[in-house]
Amino acid sequence: MSRISRRQIYIGGIVQGVGFRPFVYKLAQELSLHGYVLNSSAGVTVEVEGADWELECFVRRLRDETPPLAQIEDVVIQTLAPAGYSSFVIRGSVDEPGRLAPVSPDVSTCDDCLRDFRSDGNRRHGYPFTNCTNCGPRYTITRKIPYDRPLTTMACFAMCEKCLAEYEDPADRRFHAQPNACPSCGPALTLMLRDHLEAPLTFDGGLSEIRAVRQMLQQGRIVAIKGLGGFHLACDASNGQAVGALRERKKRSDKPFAIMVPDATSAERLCFVSEAARVALESARRPIVILPRRADAPGFPEALAPGNNTLGIMLPYTPLHYLLFSDSVDQPPAFSALVMTSGNISEEPIVTGNREAARRLHRIADAFLFHNRDIHTRVDDSVVRVFEEKERVLRRSRGYAPFPIALSFPVAEILACGAELKNTFCLTKEHHAFLSQHIGDLENYETLVFFQETLTRMQDLFRIEPKAVAYDLHPMYLSTKLALEMKDVEKIGVQHHHAHVASCMAENGITGKVIGVAFDGTGFGTDGKIWGGEFLVADFAGFERRAHFRYISLAGGDAAVREPWRLGLSYLMDTFGERAESLDLPVWRHVPAKKVATVRAMIERGINTVETSACGRLFDAVASIAGLRHEVNFEAQAAIQLEAIAVQGLEEQYPFEISDGEAWQIDMRPAIESIVRDVLAGRPASYIAALFHNTVAAIVVEVCRRLRAAEGLDRVCLSGGTFQNLYLLERAVAGLRSSGFEVFLHSKVPPNDGGISLGQAVIANARLWGGPPGPPPTPSSACP
């Protein structure tokens, strides 16, 4: 007779809300083992008894056959004396104070549930809240851990007999599915017209309300639809009048709208979809994927994405989304595409509550589709782009947050407050970095409240009490002010571009020195100037600024960001001096002479100006000089359009110079002079854009070569929002690799300011563990 042994097994990682306990239960039953499994605030605990060979088999299969949504990070096994268990059971959850268990992100509808709600005769036919162990809401409904129904916003919905039977049946895929529900016992819908929003909300609707919304959308109306992490504003993407009305009402002039299509095949009719892009579209995370448009695509209004050669496309990720297109697989989709843009006033957080939506969106939407499952945590759609057949995250939110970034080293409990634009914050503990979902631009009270409420919830969820807070050096950022007001924590200032490079290092598991290239539109420098075209030699403990673009004047602060012609004027004055305005350039025909004279005087006298080395501002300047864009109404609009028109296949570049000094300066005056010559000669803007991109890529390669010769470093980290430009990124990466460099890019964390909090956190950790004492000096110079 085989000797009976007992194993106590702790499993950490994404193991709650993903069907892990049912998986363990079924595995133990299959192997005739006795014991128990339970959720704890640290993960999953299993005790199991049986013969040694059976336990070895159990542990092996536990690792190898995990549910598709589970991600095991560690397994700790202890051998104990037998306890004499007589059966295997799922025990109630246990809260272990101070212990942490990652929470699963929300998961798109699985194929099995898709068949359920689209099949006539199924009791869930047309039910917009169908889910199971393998799909459905997670993070957005979780109030506390362990992940159990009473600790979610599903607590108020008591399961009917049939749902409870599924929940308790080990053979059912809804075994211990916490959000399990059906039309008899679960959440429901109600549809209200804009003129009737004061009436009481009664939730008893389902498919009939969805059909009514479908009809409204076909009639060209705009509907606010409550979804998984907040409201969407929806309209028929093929209806130019509806798209135009949505732009006007939402006060969103040109920024591209995301669209939802029924399936990947529909996406392929509109855009070029590579295999990697298709995988991203169809993944359980269901992000918006930025795809190149087809010239021969079916006609859609230009207002969807003005001036862009890409579209942001996503697939349905909840039953409600699928049902908006059709009732069943046999019914053709009612729409080729729907605009599904965030339900908010521009620059404010996405709306989550029913009454909040009625109050804030009533001037935009003609009707509202509400439901009564509360959204505990607001989460916007994520955005990715594919480069080198790999998904690269540009906005990390639904489907990704709050899954942690695994670090290759231990970290203290730290809060990093992030930057002002595209804000996320980061909390660290053990070997984990927990980035918040996309918060947005911290430029108004509503977004600051969103930041604070999310911080409170994540600290509570992951049991993190920060010992230090890291912040950006810019004294006017709301995130910086919030950090400096915190009590009883060490405060650590982190330079913006050092954080960009450190973020890339941390994501790629690098701890030694690298050449860091950080290109973006703004970042407060240690000299009080605005950086953004930076070459650093850096590790987590510190950095040296070894090269940067030559400073030019940023006239009018934020006004210069909104009006690229001001940057064009600054570069032209720097290059041509008093001759700048005598040049026959398109910009002088678009900007009033009086306004030009005012800004010229500001630059000449240094009034309300600050010096900048930002690469993003250089892109703005070139876009204006080339006659492409003189004003913008969303961030990086001019640079995006410059990328969009750049013609492929050209290898030429413009000249530039690199001057010696403590930090080398990259002088773009030769390039600006050549660009002006091409404009005056009538060269198309597409040609100028291509050569300009080639020039910036050549600068990256040349400066890195010189730094390698000086420092002996051959690892290069590319970070910053400018490297979202794939035309530039492709050429810079190719040039670096052909020169023998090992190049590291972002994939899990945005290269823009959405990923900067990770860099702040690991730099702060290095300081706490013996890096240079104290933060870098915070300059007192005036900032835009």
Q: What is the DSSP letter of 108?
A: P
Q: What percent of the chain clears pLDDT 70, i.e. is strictly above it?
A: 97
In this prediction, residue 166 carries a pLDDT of: 96
Strands (E), 473-592: 490-494, 514-519, 533-538, 543-549, 552-555
Checking if the pLDDT of 81 tops 80, the result is yes
Whether 325 and 262 have beta carbons less than 8 Å apart is answered as: yes
Tell me the β-bridge partners of 223: 234, 367
Calculate ∠ Cα 636-638-641, nearest 5°.
105
Alpha-carbon distances, residue 207 vs 325, 327, 352, 415 (angstroms): 12, 8, 22, 44
Q: How far is residue 740's CA from residue 167's CA, in Å, rounded to a whole number?
A: 57
Residue-wise pLDDT for 606-634, tens only, equals 999 999 999 999 999 999 999 999 999 99
Q: Residues 139-150: what's their mean pLDDT? A: 91
pLDDT in the model for residue 581: 92
pLDDT at 604 over 70: yes
- The pTM of this model reads 0.93
* Coil vs helix vs strand at 238: coil
What integer is the mean pLDDT of 392-409?
Answer: 95
Statement: residue 772 has pLDDT above 50: no
Q: What span, in angstroms and rounded, lies between the C-alpha atoms of 56 and 47?
A: 13
Contact between 420 and 324 (Cβ < 8 Å):
no
Would you say residue 584 has pLDDT above 80? yes
How many CB atoms are located within 10 Å of the residue 262 CB?
21
Report the relative pairing of strands 533-538 and 543-549 from DSSP bridges.
antiparallel
Quick one: pLDDT at residue 681? 97
Angle at 217 (CA atoms; ends 212, 223), nearest 5 degrees: 85
Helix 615-625, helix 564-576: angle, nearest 10 = 90
Check whether 605 has a pLDDT greater than 70.
yes
pLDDT at 346: 79
Encode pLDDT of 415-473 as tens digits: 999 999 999 999 999 999 999 999 999 999 999 999 999 999 999 989 999 999 999 99
Question: Where do we find the tokens 């505990």?
Answer: 376
Name the 3-class secondary structure at 597.
Answer: helix
Q: What is the mean pLDDT of residues 362-384?
A: 97
279-303 pLDDT, tens per residue?
A: 999 999 999 999 999 988 877 899 9
Distance (Å, rounded) from C-alpha 599 to C-alpha 150?
61
Q: What percent of the chain has pLDDT over 90?
A: 86
Residue 780 pLDDT: 30
Of 452, 477, 283, which is closest to residue 378 (Cα–Cα)? Answer: 452
* Of the candidate ranges 14-23, 49-58, 662-671, the one whose mean pLDDT is the lowest: 14-23
**Integer CA distances (angstroms), 229 to 121, 142, 346, 492, 733, in order:** 30, 12, 17, 33, 36
Is the per-residue pLDDT at 782 higher than 80? no
**CA angle 482-487-491, nearest 5°?**
65
Tell me what the mean pLDDT of segment 579-602 comes to: 94
Rounded to an integer, the average pLDDT of 532-542 is 98
193-196, Cβ contacts within 8 angstroms, sequence gap of 24 or more: 193/366, 193/367, 193/368, 194/362, 194/365, 194/366, 194/367, 194/368
How many angstroms separate the Cα of 304 from the Cα of each of 64, 140, 249, 389? 45, 29, 15, 26
**Lowest-confidence pick of 211-225, 341-355, 621-635, 768-782:** 768-782
- What would the pLDDT profile of 485-519 be if each residue is shown by its tens digit? 999 999 999 999 999 999 999 999 999 999 999 99
Query: How many other β-carbons are positioned within 10 Å of the β-carbon of residue 618?
Result: 28
Using CB atoms within 10 Å of the CB of residue 196, give its burial: 0 to 12 exposed, 13 to 18 middle, 19+ buried.
exposed
For residue 774, what pLDDT is reported? 35
Q: Is residue 748 pLDDT above 90, yes or no?
A: yes
pLDDT in tens, 190-208: 999 999 998 888 999 899 9
Averaged confidence pLDDT in the chain: 93
* pLDDT given for residue 773 in this prediction: 32
